[in-house]
Chains A and B, each alone.
Chain A
Amino acid sequence: MSAEAARPTTLARRPFTPSSLGLGLRWLGRSRAATFGGTVMAAIGLAAIFAPLLTSYAYDAQDFAIASLPPLASLAHPLGTDQFGRDILSRVLYGARVSLAVSLSGMLVASAVGVAAGLLSAYLGGALDAVLMRLADVQLSFPYLILAIAMMALLGPSLPLLVVVLAVRGWVNYARTIRGIVLSLKEEEFVAAAIVAGASPGRIILRHLLPNVLAPIIVLSSFELAAMMLTEASLSFLGLGVQPPMPSWGSMVSQGRDYIYTSWWLTTIPGLALMLAVLGANQLGDGLRDLLDPRLRGARL
């Protein structure tokens, strides 16, 4: 701890204390979008973590005696039940777990790969830069969802593959954004100073460049999370994402589709949950961008 404190503190190394949490929240509160998005995401995250405490039903517990109950018809099942008598609230809560876990993993893998690619590509340049950017071009020259469908259908749907497929979507955005910023950063005097001081390329990238691109990484991650939740849901809707009996908002909508004439809540409720989560992540990204880095205005697509 004392050795740690002697070092110059950067944003990432500041010790985490309750007062820094309070400061962070007050800072977020300066943007209405960030407040809204942060609150929504925190609520969904907590609901996902504490799902077993919030509902007394398992997500796959069937009870045909209470099949197809509409919302509010029974206090025991406030959001109703599906055609198998499974509690919708439980399935939406556990669906939040799956959606968040898969999308967060995809985002982490994408950011790790993309940030590394962007930093190395920009700082080292040369053949590595050419190859990586060419790869990004190839990928951007084709509709991603069709590629994702092909990967999931042909290699067989599984959660690890789903994470990889999502990461394939995201790494390009990180790599291109980070590369662009680092290309201009590396002309700055502090990099020249580090080189003169004898710092190795690895040290310059990790200690001098990486801290300077943390803000765009955070903003981008928020938007990527939103996009990945949408992609996961779309693939699950097509039957190529999360597989039953594990609930996913996308597959719940797909299962409710057959009952659209009789049981409106089966499609409506999971879709609303998905929209709220995506909206929350997008708004958080908008707010963080305004707070951290207004230059990134085109980042969201």
Chain B
Amino acid sequence: MVAFLIRRLLQAVPALLGVTLVVFLLLHASGDPSSFMLPPEASESDRQAFRHAYGLDQPLHTQYGLFLWKAVQGDLGRSIAYGAPAADVLLKRVPATLELALASTALALLLGIPSGILAAFRQNSPFDYLVMLGATLGQSIAGFWLGLMLIMVVSVQLGLLPASGRGTLAQLVLPAITLSTWLMALMARMTRSAMLEVLRRDYIRTAYAKGLQTRVVLARHALKNALIPIITLLGVSFSYQMGGAVIVETVFSWPGVGTLVFDSVLRRDYPVVLATVLFVGLVFVLINLLVDLCYSVIDPRIRLERSAAR
């Protein structure tokens, strides 16, 4: 178990190195931050001093090596825009995005999975068509547009919920719905097809023949076996949720990691961009680790060691 965890974390190292290196090179290909951060009338010696203060006057490989060396020690440098340590700037934004991501994932699971189950159970019924129509539309709608439409109808026309900001539960509703739509559609679709597959099996007929109630057959015998593909999706969906968060947070002025990384890229705030990239990459690794652990809980036949060797 411990060996598995360590091996998986080690496997993630090259990926994290690759992503940070790409972003690091992009940042440096884009020009000198002193031209963005200092007023145009700043003297050349001011610029030199600025570059020196942030280590930008050193060769690229030294800078990247230094970034890694300090990152391992927990030091991600100081934000150029905020003047505070980049890690602090980032961590201050994490709760907002976590809240949004958890709310939207919960919404997607609570509505997507049951409607997928019922759609499969009543295949080709009007309800099934309705779910499939909703799922198809949900996967074709652009998050930024859906968010603006919700603002227009719910906030502007009906005046029911606030259109932006964070703090109250009411402010969470529209962003969470917007971010969850795509995942909910995917969940409903995948649950339906996984259930359709399972409901044909002999053990389902056996369960009915034993005289079990439909509810029990669906929950204990069918859903449990359909869960594997659904959980796999949950791991994959994180990266889509994170990308979606940039859009949704922008639309709803939500003070999370998404708006932070977007603003920091535009401001060339190197340390914050790199800190965010590292953080997002790490979270992704951990979520996929969690997904693998879930597999072995749901299906004891899946050995962790084997999935690690995959």
Contact = CB atoms under 8 A, between A and B. Distances in A.
Interface of A: 134-135, 137-138, 140-147, 149-151, 153-156, 226, 230, 233-234, 237-238, 250, 253-254, 257, 260-261, 264, 267-268, 271, 274-275, 278-279, 282-283, 286, 297-298, 300-301
A268 B153 CA distance: 11
Given A260-B148, A279-B137, A155 B30 contact: yes
B14 interface: yes
Contact of A141 (B139, B250, B284): B284
Given A140-B239, A300-B139, 13 more contacts: A143-B238, A145-B246, A146-B276, A149-B265, A154-B26, A154-B30, A154-B268, A234-B143, A238-B247, A260-B152, A274-B145, A282-B136, A286-B136
A147 B261 CA distance: 10
Nearest to B265: A153
Nearest to A278: B140
Interface in B242-301: 242-244, 246-247, 250, 261-262, 265-266, 268, 273, 276-277, 280-281, 284-285
B140 A279 contact: yes
Contacts of A254: 144
B99 to A, nearest CB: 18
Contacts, number: 132
A137 B29 CA distance: 24
Contact of A250 (B29, B144, B261): B144
Contacts of A264: 152
Interface stretch (B15-23, B48-56, B171-179, B201-209): B15-23
A140 B288 CA distance: 12
B141 interface: yes
A282 B18 contact: no
A142 B280 contact: yes
Contact of A149 (B149, B238, B246, B284): B246
B149 A271 contact: yes
A278 B138 CA distance: 11
Given A257-B148, A267-B152, A142 B239 contact: yes
